[in-house]
Structure 1
Amino acid sequence: MCAEQFTEVAPWYDDLMAEVPYQNWVRYVEKLAQLHGLSPKSVLDLACGTGRVSRILAQKGYAVVGVDGSPAMIREAQSKTNGEIPFYCQRMQELSLNQRFDLVICLFDSLNYITEPSELQAAFCRVSEHLNPEGLFIFDVNGEAAYTNNLFTQTSLGRWRKVQYVWQADYNPSTRICEVHMRFIVNENGRKREFFEVHRQRCYTVLEIQNYLQQAGLECLECLDAFTTRPATKASDRIYFVARKILAEHNQSHE
């Protein structure tokens, strides 16, 4: 029987992602913000998961708030910070915090998990409402190359750690939905246990995302090949977007 995505895996997530260079990801986001003239003091980390990026940002002196839609992941995040960072369990599409931020981030293809276009549009609208004037929204998505090149069919068998996995991806180019059937094997005090999750993502085109941003009052400033300053191409498997909240006066000047 399959568990809901990001439930059973939550206690093992940091072990699973042990090799992800989160520090480099944060430095890249800081660089993009700097290139667009922003020195943020407050950061909203959307789809924060277990709070790895939130903790790095807090250590750097930012005032951070983390939000994730998975209760299990939020529990993990809260357990690792002793209340030093506020974490909230909310869906991005229904984001409601009594606060605005200089910078909103959403990393690690989290937005691809929103498989209904209308809900992605709603999420962008909620982000816009939580940005300070001239604030930036920096996020990444998987490009279609990630799905067509089968990057989500993976296995870690043979590299024994606390958790091993076998992932089998099925991408439908007509619906642009990718289903990843995930089998996890965990070592609990010397005893092996396995569980399963099915993760669903949707592939969005750059043009779709640009349109959704504009409709939410956000101007798309750049679409970049991940971790570079080069424009994204069809070969980009991960694409970073930088968007800025459009000021009311700016809107009026274009009417």
Structure 2
Amino acid sequence: MSTEIEWFSTWFDSPYYHLLYRDRDQQEARDFIDALLVHLHPKPGTRLLDLACGKGRHAIYLSEKGYDVTGVDLSPESIVYARQFAQPQLHFEVHDMRDPLPWGPFDFIFNLFTSFGYFAEETENVVALRSAAAALRPGGKMVIDFMNTERAVFELVGREEKTVDGITFHLRRHLDNGFIVKEIRFTDPEGRAQFFEERVRALRRVQFEEYFLMAGLRLAEVLGDYHLTPYDGHRSPRMIFVLKK
């Protein structure tokens, strides 16, 4: 594992990350989870893991549905926020997905909204999947929701500006050595220039399938959007993998 500071360990803890993405569609997220639950039909009381849970919006909603939910995330700030909603069937922990998960076993593991492929070394993706697989019960299922990289690369918007609460974010996207990179520049309220970067590996379906094989996970199906229609490599906005141990 690299000893350099990893971009996600600082950016996801920044208040500006949450400001930039404040307007994410909460209803779309809930509708997606509702569709997943109908599709997967977990029994009441099922143990679920929200892997890379952020501030816990999906974990909280899953808990409201009657499941025993654990949410884990690398960001201490996000977990501090999420823990205000904790109760006996809803727990939050600071955790690096590359490390073994001590809170299992789980019946289902959800990794939603492109929360994968951040690591500098490709082998770390397999390490993360193996850690998740080890925390699944035999016969358990894992859902990985990732962008459809083929379409995302084709439609990449090079430059964009977005103003939120008086702060103008200057965004630049480009490809760099197998990663889709988003550079984020802005001036904070104290007049200081700020720079952050997001780097997500431009993973195609075939690469994921190799990872799954190495992690001992069987690919059950690939869905293409939040309505769970079948995946189409050219047109689908998402790649949603349903995996079985």
Bin for the TM-score computed over the shorter chain? 0.7 to 0.9
Q: How does 1:228-239 map to 2 (within 5 A)?
A: 228-239=228-239
Match of 2:244 in 1: 244
Please give the root-mean-square deviation of Cα atoms over the aligned residues, in Å.
2.8
Change (3 A) 1:131 1:16: same
Instruction: Quote the sequence identity (%).
Output: 24
Name the count of aligned residue pairs.
Answer: 233
Match of 1:182 in 2: 184
Q: Is the Cα–Cα contact under 8 Å of residues 103 and 137 in structure 1 kept in the other structure?
A: yes
| Aligned-residue offset at 1:106 | 0.3
Q: What amino acid maps onto 1:48 in structure 2?
A: C
The separation in 2 between residues aligned to 1:207 and 1:88, in whole angstroms, is 32
Q: What amino acid maps onto 2:232 in structure 1?
A: A
SS in 1 for 2:11: coil
Q: Is the Cα–Cα contact under 8 Å of residues 104 and 137 in structure 1 kept in the other structure?
A: yes
The separation in 2 between residues aligned to 1:110 and 1:206, in whole angstroms, is 16
What do residues 129-167 of structure 1 show as CA deviations (whole Å, max 9, x unaligned)?
A: 11112111011112222133115854333xx54876332
What do residues 87-129 of structure 1 show as CA deviations (whole Å, max 9, x unaligned)?
A: 1111111132242111000011011323422111111111111
2:25 aligned residue (19, 38, 46): 19
Match of 1:62 in 2: 67
The answer as to 2:174 corresponding to 1:170 is yes
The separation in 2 between residues aligned to 1:43 and 1:90, in whole angstroms, is 16
Q: How does 1:72-91 map to 2 (within 5 A)?
A: 72-79=77-84, 81-82=85-86, 85-91=90-96
Change (3 A) 1:13 1:106: farther
Structure 2: segments with no counterpart, 5+ residues: 1-6
Q: Is the Cα–Cα contact under 8 Å of residues 11 and 17 in structure 2 kept in the other structure?
A: no
Change (3 A) 1:65 1:118: same
Structure 1: segments with no counterpart, 5+ residues: 246-255
Match of 1:107 in 2: 112
SS in 2 for 1:210: helix
| Aligned-residue offset at 1:73 | 1.9
Q: Is the Cα–Cα contact under 8 Å of residues 152 and 168 in structure 1 kept in the other structure?
A: yes
What do residues 149-188 of structure 1 show as CA deviations (whole Å, max 9, x unaligned)?
A: 115854333xx5487633221223xx2212211235778x
Q: What amino acid maps onto 1:230 in structure 2?
A: P
Q: Is the Cα–Cα contact under 8 Å of residues 97 and 131 in structure 2 kept in the other structure?
A: yes
Q: What amino acid maps onto 2:30 in structure 1?
A: Q
Q: Is the Cα–Cα contact under 8 Å of residues 162 and 186 in structure 1 kept in the other structure?
A: no
Match of 1:250 in 2: none
